[in-house]
């Protein structure tokens, strides 16, 4: 199957700082990637769709100025949590689909963000 | 609007016994259905999918699922559970003409297989 790598797996930061999470498709090109947030014992909440070479599409209720998404190449999307607050602490997961596939998602390993 | 229901938060089975994790869905038009598994502090891994064709689909690690259109169900099954199958399982659905990112996930079912 396709491989999606996410980094870092764990990050701890202070309130007010910014944190960048990277999502890479290692063996395929991904024109579209997706970012999710997962709370403990809950399902995935789609935050935004990252489009290579264009602006991300954010889901309703997600602050685009707080969660900056950049998809600069066909294999890399980044999520930057700006001015982090403790309530931003969560598990963030990215995913991608292969061009021409019938839609199964390939997920990164996830990033556990803790804001102190 | 599409939706997925996983009616059981928790399923417990003994090793070697068959397991079933239930999923029902609601979607306009033909569904694409998926099962994913998540181990603690990890991302989700794709298990299997139903797109079209045979209602019984086989996937990774010996899992299978049966698409039942009349009951709008897509239950995940395995004939003989292993302790290593213990994990969180998500069912997902999307309509055939929608973006993959618009997949709707169920709330997940925690499977515990006891030795």
Indicate yes or no: CB of B43 within 8 angstroms of CB of A104: no
Place of tokens 């396709």: A2
- B103 inside 8 A of chain A by CB: yes
What SS3 class is residue A87? helix
In angstroms, what CA-CA distances link B9 with A9, A42, B5, B89, B113?
26, 10, 10, 10, 14
Who wins on pLDDT, A20 or A97? A20
- A111 inside 8 A of chain B by CB: no
Which residues, numbered 87 to 106 in chain A, qualify as contacts with chain B under a Cβ-Cβ cut-off of 8 Å?
A: 91, 93, 95, 97, 102-106
What SS3 class is residue A11? strand
Indicate yes or no: CB of A107 within 8 angstroms of CB of B44: yes
Give the CB-side neighbour count of residue B27, counting CA atoms within 13 A.
24
pLDDT computed for residue A43 by the predictor: 86
| pLDDT digit string, tens, across residues A30-77 | 888 999 999 887 788 999 999 888 899 999 999 999 999 999 888 999
Indicate yes or no: CB of A4 within 8 angstroms of CB of B43: yes
Give me the tens of pLDDT residue by residue for chain B, a chain 115 residues long: 899 999 999 999 999 999 999 999 999 999 999 999 999 888 899 999 999 889 999 999 999 999 999 999 999 999 999 999 999 999 999 988 777 777 899 999 999 999 9
- Would you say B44 and A93 are in contact if contact means Cβ atoms under 8 Å apart? yes
> What's the mean pLDDT in A81-96?
95
Under the banding of pLDDT at 50, 70 and 90, the label for residue A101 is low
What SS3 class is residue A93? strand
In angstroms, what CA-CA distances link A116 with A3, A41, A80?
32, 22, 17
CA quadruple B5, B7, B8, B14: dihedral, nearest 10: -90
């Amino acid at each position: 199957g396709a491989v999606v790598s996410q980094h870092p797996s764990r990050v701890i930061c202070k309130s007010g700082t910014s944190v960048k999470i990277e999502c890479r498709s290692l063996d395929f090109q991904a024109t579209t990637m997706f970012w999710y947030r997962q709370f403990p014992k809950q399902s995935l909440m789609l935050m935004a769709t990252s489009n290579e070479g264009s602006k991300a599409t954010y889901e309703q209720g997600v602050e685009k100025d707080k969660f900056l998404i950049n998809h600069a190449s066909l294999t890399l999307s980044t999520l930057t949590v700006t001015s982090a607050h403790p309530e931003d602490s969560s598990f963030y997961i990215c995913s991608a689909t292969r061009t021409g596939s019938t839609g199964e998602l390939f997920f990164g390993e996830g990033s556990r963000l803790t804001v102190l | 609007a599409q939706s997925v229901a996983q009616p059981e938060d928790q399923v417990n089975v003994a090793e070697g016994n068959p397991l079933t994790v239930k999923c029902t869905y609601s979607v306009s038009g033909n569904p694409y259905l998926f099962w994913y598994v998540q181990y603690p502090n990890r991302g989700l891994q794709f298990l299997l999918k139903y797109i079209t064709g045979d209602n019984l689909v086989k996937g990774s690690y010996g899992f299978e699922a049966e698409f039942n259109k009349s009951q709008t169900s897509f239950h995940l099954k395995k004939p003989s559970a292993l302790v290593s199958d213990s994990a969180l399982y998500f069912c997902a659905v999307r309509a055939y003409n929608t973006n993959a990112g618009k997949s709707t996930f169920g709330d997940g079912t925690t499977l515990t297989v006891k030795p």
